[in-house]
């Protein structure tokens, strides 16, 4: 078992009396991971894969609890309100952390005020796709030709998303703003029905998830670019948006780990080290690679990324006039 010495802060300095702190071991009891999405979802899978390895590394049971609802906000609120003792951990996604605080006025947490960022675990790009059977996008073979078509007929091309304010929505609006084009947004209730909308010709383009790779391989969708800074292993010939000429375009959906604000820095460091070790375990890494690219920035690096992504999301949302029902 690995034990990490941490300081328990407390008490009372008075005249003639020295203050005292008491050391305690962590962890000495089960750790609870809160996930804001249903069992079997990508984020749930990542939490369970990492949780299994953490249990072995830390020598304590790690239990995953699905607290679904409000685009991950219920779980996030639960962790924000939990005791900062290292025994309640949030596995969340980029939308819940970088987009929700800008979209929702009645949100009950503020990521950088209520959480200690620990690290990301996996990051996954979106794939910009069209339907080769759609006559409206006939002749579109890359991002440049798509942009030219959109400029020639402002508002005629439609794009799908997994819902108003979803990260797919934000990514496509960012593309439109950087390209200086107008397109019509058609929201769906999730990425799967959005993909069906593209395949049926209801919409003209979309940033799909890697779940669409089989449809691309089958020739039912055409991949124009991926939204991250690296090419996706399953589509080695598909360029990144940056390679396609959008140097500042980098949008991925990630799974990240958080503790309540005020958690002892040594506990944050210990959890980070344990997660790094998990991603370096060959079997665990292979399982994680089915969900995305394993990547574990330091807590400080992760915090800075959240700041930057939140600023981009806020600017994009304001420029697009995106509003959600409260």
CA-to-CA distance for 161 and 225, rounded, in angstroms?
Answer: 17
Q: What is the pLDDT of residues 215-242, one digit of tens each?
A: 999 999 999 999 999 999 999 999 999 9
Local confidence band at 58 (pLDDT 50, 70, 90 cut-offs): very high
Contacts (Cβ under 8 Å, ≥6 apart) of 45: 291
pTM (global) more than 0.75: yes
Quick check: do 4-12+22-125+252-320 and 127-226 share a fold?
Answer: yes
d(CA 89, CA 191): 27
Domain ranges in the chain are: 4-12+22-125+252-320, 127-226
Of the candidates 78, 110, 80, 90, the one whose C-alpha atom is nearest the C-alpha of residue 44 is 90
| 109-156 pLDDT, tens digit each | 999 999 999 999 999 999 999 999 999 999 999 999 999 999 999 999
Fold of 127-226: D-Maltodextrin-Binding Protein; domain 2 (3.40.190)
Return the minimum-mean-pLDDT range out of 15-29, 128-142, 172-186, 281-295.
15-29
Instruction: Tell me the CATH number for domain 4-12+22-125+252-320.
Output: 3.40.190.150
């Amino acid at each position: 078992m690995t034990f990490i010495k941490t300081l328990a802060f407390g008490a009372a300095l008075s005249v003639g009396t020295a203050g005292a702190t008491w050391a305690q071991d962590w962890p000495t009891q089960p750790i609870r991971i809160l996930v804001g999405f249903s069992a079997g979802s990508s984020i749930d899978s990542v939490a369970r894969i990492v949780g299994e390895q953490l249990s072995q590394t830390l020598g304590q049971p790690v239990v995953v609890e699905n607290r679904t609802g409000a685009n991950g906000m219920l779980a996030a609120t639960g962790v924000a309100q939990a005791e900062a003792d290292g025994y309640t951990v949030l596995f969340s996604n980029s939308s819940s952390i970088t987009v929700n605080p800008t979209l929702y006025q009645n949100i009950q947490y503020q990521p950088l005020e209520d959480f200690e960022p620990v690290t990301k675990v996996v990051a996954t790009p979106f794939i910009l796709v069209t339907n080769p059977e759609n006559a409206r996008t006939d002749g579109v073979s890359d991002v440049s030709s798509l942009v030219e078509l959109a400029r020639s007929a402002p508002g005629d091309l439609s794009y799908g998303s997994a819902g108003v304010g979803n990260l797919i929505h934000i990514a496509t609006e960012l593309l439109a703003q950087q390209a200086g084009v107008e397109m019509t947004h058609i929201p769906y209730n999730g990425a799967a029905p959005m993909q069906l909308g593209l395949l049926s010709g209801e919409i003209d383009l979309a940033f799909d998830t890697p779940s669409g790779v089989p449809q691309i391989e089958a020739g039912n969708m055409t991949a124009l670019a991926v939204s991250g800074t690296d090419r996706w292993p399953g589509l080695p010939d598909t360029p990144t948006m940056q390679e396609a000429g959008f140097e500042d375009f980098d949008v991925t959906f990630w799974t990240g780990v958080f503790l309540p604000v005020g958690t002892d820095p040594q506990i944050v460091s210990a959890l980070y080290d344990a997660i790094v070790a998990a991603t370096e375990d060959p079997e665990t890494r292979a399982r994680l690679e089915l969900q995305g690219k394993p990547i574990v920035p330091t807590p400080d690096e992760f915090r800075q990324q959240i700041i930057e992504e939140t600023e981009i999301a806020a600017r994009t949302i304001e420029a697009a006039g995106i509003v959600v029902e409260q």
